[in-house]
């Protein structure tokens, strides 16, 4: 492999990672191509060698972030234990709460949500998450781990909303405590549908 071939993947990777970081920090509107180039420490020509422009690079970065979040969630939801324990693992997974959700952050950008192509990874990620949570909860119900009157789809939507809402409350307070409280509350509600011996944690 030539040195040029070795540099190109490295340059593209730096661009995508820099775009991921800046989109998380500043959002789509607040992220300029110049800022991405400076963060990636590459020249303008390098960027346009790999991407047609900001929109295409942002799309690659958003897809990467969405895939990473999905993989992280799947590790929790596909892990050992009861349905309650697996959902609890997802809710209690370590997060940089005060930075907000790197995907949820994108929904606050008007230009982002108005662009169907840029919005697609967001829709897919949240749709997948609700569906996967619903699968785990339905498995738990069928195994008798959760009560028969629990609605998997509605409960999955609640769990997803707790995480996203928790981010907002924590950032507004500049304190992760509201996020932790929301998680404890969700787990308490879910524990009420679980078998005897299941108790929600008292601290995140």
8 pLDDT higher than 60: no
Of the candidate CATH numbers 1.10.357.10, 2.120.10.30, 3.20.20.70, 3.30.70.100, the domain formed by 62-191 belongs to 1.10.357.10
| Residues in CB range of 171: below 8 A, 6 or more apart | 97, 98, 100
| pLDDT for res 204 | 44
Q: What is the pLDDT of residue 201?
A: 58
Domain layout of the chain by residue ranges: 62-191
Summarize pLDDT for 42-101 with one digit per residue, the tens: 887 888 888 888 999 999 999 999 999 999 999 999 999 999 999 999 999 999 999 999
For 202, phi then psi, to 5°, come to: -90, -15
Average pLDDT over residues 8-26: 88
Residue from 133, 112, 130, 132 nearest 121 by CA:
112
Q: What is the pLDDT of residue 7?
A: 46
Does 199 score more than 80 pLDDT?
Answer: no
Per-chain mean pLDDT for the chain: 90
């Amino acid at each position: 492999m030539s040195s040029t071939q070795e540099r190109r993947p490295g340059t593209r990777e730096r661009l995508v990672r820099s775009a991921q970081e800046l989109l998380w920090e500043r959002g789509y509107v607040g992220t300029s191509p110049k800022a991405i180039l400076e963060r990636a420490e590459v020249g303008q020509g390098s960027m346009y060698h790999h991407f047609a422009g900001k929109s295409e690079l942002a799309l690659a970065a958003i897809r990467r972030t969405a895939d990473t979040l999905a993989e992280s969630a799947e590790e929790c939801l596909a892990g050992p234990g009861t349905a309650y324990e697996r959902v609890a693992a997802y809710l209690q997974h370590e997060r940089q709460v005060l930075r907000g959700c790197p995907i949820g952050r994108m929904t606050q950008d008007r230009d982002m949500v108005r662009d169907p192509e840029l919005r697609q990874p967001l829709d897919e990620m949240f749709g997948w998450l609700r569906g996967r949570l619903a699968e785990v909860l339905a498995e738990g119900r069928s195994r008798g781990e959760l009560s028969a009157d629990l609605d998997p789809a509605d409960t999955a939507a609640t769990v997803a909303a707790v995480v996203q809402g928790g981010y907002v409350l924590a950032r507004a307070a500049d304190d992760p405590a509201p996020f932790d409280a929301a998680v404890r509350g969700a787990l308490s509600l879910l524990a009420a549908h679980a078998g005897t011996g299941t108790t929600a944690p008292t601290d995140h």
